[in-house]
Structure 1
């Protein structure tokens, strides 16, 4: 399988040479939450090249923010000379790892196969498939689809102890819930352990990592390799990304930040990073960028001394959006953001970006023949009444496409509509809304 990276940003990425070891840098960046043997792992990562893997289950058509943590960790380890295996779970995706609350909806093999292809294309954007440390893409359907149930139970199942499986955190939570847990999801940890065993046998893979919420599944693999092969292999759990207030990012929480531009526009993606709080932004820079310790320390001083400049947030938003969507898309987003607040030409914002803006702002649909200034302000919710709208206009605080409104009853001319479809309505300096031509 030929999978050359499509991302020019990879060539510029470097680990920080100020650290004595990769392990030290991973810890400083907050990427080590739990591991099988920290001292042994530090030695292994500082030694001869090893093969390591991270798995991604196709439970949706796109990867999201949580996956980006793993992809960037894969890249950091690859930059140290080690060889990654990117596993997309064509078989485990048919099952789904247990969720804390309820059973997953099982998707058809056709849907899962389509998602496998989509995720593989996304993954090759973040790690290199060229050179001495070239990555290899693998699919666990390749080694599971030919195994019979009897073979699986005899050759793999015999190494697992039900008592140990029941003690896994996620299993224990589900057993104590109203719904319980099906045998299908209960068996997921065996399938993931089987993956590690197969990759150990086929590629001499000796390290698996993933989110710390997967720790029970990760150690299922290390235990299976130990029992079946008598070998010691390693596991590493990265922390779950949360806000300083404890809020979790992730699609299970209904607020996923997708890496696919069709599901989360570059504009929305950039705004997400730009809006990170002062309490969170430095940790985000450590995890999601390749900026050095010195560069991040300088940005941290800026947060402390001049937080109103939001230099750290702008650096974070530029780095991550450029990585995911490219520098050209990021530049367009920045220009659009400036134009929306009167610091550029609105006419130069392309239509897809305006659609993205609409999803982020209050918006309304108004027929062109009814688009008076008063109607625009009221229907978008920028004011509560016609009287309030007239007062805002009289006070000089209402704008359409950054032009001050003077006549509350005048219809907006056809030539004013952006792309013949949109109007940007503003009250004061920061209260914005977008109108679609109805």
Structure 2
């Protein structure tokens, strides 16, 4: 590979690299086509915006001529990664895991090319389910030091807090390390990309390859994304910001980025778009209201990547209609269809907000009402026992609003 900026310099300049193994070795490795992988544990049907950082890292590496492996954790997902968790994860059934693997795979193929062998999508259940426990522990368990593992924060924190740490969770690092070894053996994979919470697990895999095969692999870890205020990026009043439109609508996804703190715009443009650094610098060279154009550009670009350009256009046009004077109130807002029979005089504003997902809980609706942020047909709701019935229908629907900008239209059907 020749010409242009080295991909490692690109990743560093755009903010993707929080930690890396030997830089000289990585620079040499990535000077020729290299197979690399990132693992995704199927703890739910949808990835979140936090997963976008390693996914976009993978995309930049592929554009530089390297081959990605998307590894679904159909096997490790049966255990659950203890990294960053103060308590044990809920156990999933194999059926749950398989369904989540399939759902996440559909989200990931939007970012990477897999035709003509340019990339692979694999599932570690294909080899982990076949492992013999006795052979695995005899061949590989002896290569891991319990003394060293207990010094790691992911385990030490549990023990210091007197929280249970099961042997099942303790073995997670061994299985993730074995994934790296297996991918090296079967596909020549030399690089693992992950979030910084996986640093210790990645190094364990790199060390296992060195000890078993005598080969030098590498690790690139991206930062865990936080906002300028210190909050976890993608955390909303309704929970995480999901990539699946079934859990976060394209409109709400778009609005999240439009409403980001000014201080986060340049960082997110570098991480979540393929715009050049020069264009990003130009977009962010202004302040105050003038920065809104950069926010709208960020929101459109990342929504188009996740949901496709047509959905990004619809989200942009809906926002313009709602907030830019381009249409009637509620035009283009997310819509839910509910049967008219539900509006029988017993449905309260609390019930309705929760049912359509405009609030995460009844207590969240209570806070909205108390703070003056609950609206029905553009009229403020002041009481929790406000009943919503057929008399509230306007032009076949009901317009709801949470706060200043979160609209939702309910359309009645027979």
Q: Same fold (TM over 0.5)?
A: yes
RMSD: 3.3
Instruction: Identify which of 392, 398, 410 aligns with 1:422.
Output: 398
CA offset at residue 43 of structure 1? 2.1
Distance 1:192 1:425 in 2: 45
The reply to whether residue 240 of structure 1 matches residue 224 of structure 2 is yes
The corresponding residue for 2:40 is 56
2:320 paired residue among 338, 359, 377: 338
Q: Distance in 2 between matches of 1:67 and 1:32?
A: 14
The answer to whether the 8 A contact 1:85-1:137 is kept is yes
Gaps of 5+ in 1: 1-16, 365-373, 385-410
Which aligned pairs between 1:26-37 and structure 2 lie closer than 5 A? Answer: 26-37=11-22
Q: Structure 2 CA distance, aligned partners of 1:253 and 1:165?
A: 36
**Please, which of 29, 37, 42 is the counterpart of residue 27 of structure 2?**
42
- Within a 5 Å distance, the mapping from 1:173-252 to structure 2 comes to 173-249=157-233
Q: 1:260 to 1:354 in 2, by over 3 A?
A: same
Matched, 1:73 2:57: yes
5+ residue gaps in structure 2? 338-352, 367-374, 385-389
- Equivalent-residue separation in structure 2 for 1:432 and 1:62 (angstroms): 22
Alignment of 1:233-312 (within 5 A): 233-249=217-233, 255-302=239-286, 304=287, 306-312=288-294
Relative to structure 1, the CA distance from residue 187 to residue 378 in structure 2 (aligned partners, 3 Å threshold; closer, same or farther) is same
Given the superposition, is the C-alpha separation of residues 328 and 254 from structure 1 closer, same or farther in structure 2, using an over 3 Å criterion? Answer: closer
Report which of the two structures shows the higher radius of gyration computed on alpha carbons. Answer: 1
Q: Does the 8 Å contact 2:254/2:303 carry over to 1? A: yes
Query: Post-superposition shift, 1:163?
Result: 1.2
Measured against aligned partners, the alpha-carbon deviations of 1:251-288 in whole angstroms (never above 9, x if no partner) come to: 79973110000100011100001011111110010011
Partner deviation per Cα, 1:387-436 (whole Å, 9 max, x = no partner): xxxxxxxxxxxxxxxxxxxxxxxx9896x42xx12236899xx6886675
Provide the residue aligned with 2:381 in structure 1.
Answer: 380
**CA offset digits 1:63-115 (Å, max 9, x no partner):** 11111111111110001111111100111000011043101111111111111
Shift of residue 162, structure 1, vs aligned partner: 1.0
**1:108 to 2:84 alignment:** no
User: Any idea what SS the aligned residue of 2:284 has?
Assistant: helix
Q: Give 3-state SS (helix, strand or coil) of 1:53's partner.
A: strand
User: Do the aligned residues in 2 keep the contact of 1:58 with 1:119 (CA within 8 Å)?
Assistant: yes
CA distance in 2, matches of 1:228, 1:350: 58
Q: How many residues align?
A: 377
Matches of 2:56 and 2:189, distance apart in 1: 19
> Measured at CA, do residues 101 and 343 of structure 1 come closer, stay the same or move farther in structure 2, by a change above 3 Å?
same
Aligned to 1:95: 79
Q: Does 1:329 align with 2:330?
A: no
* TM value normalised by structure 1: 0.78
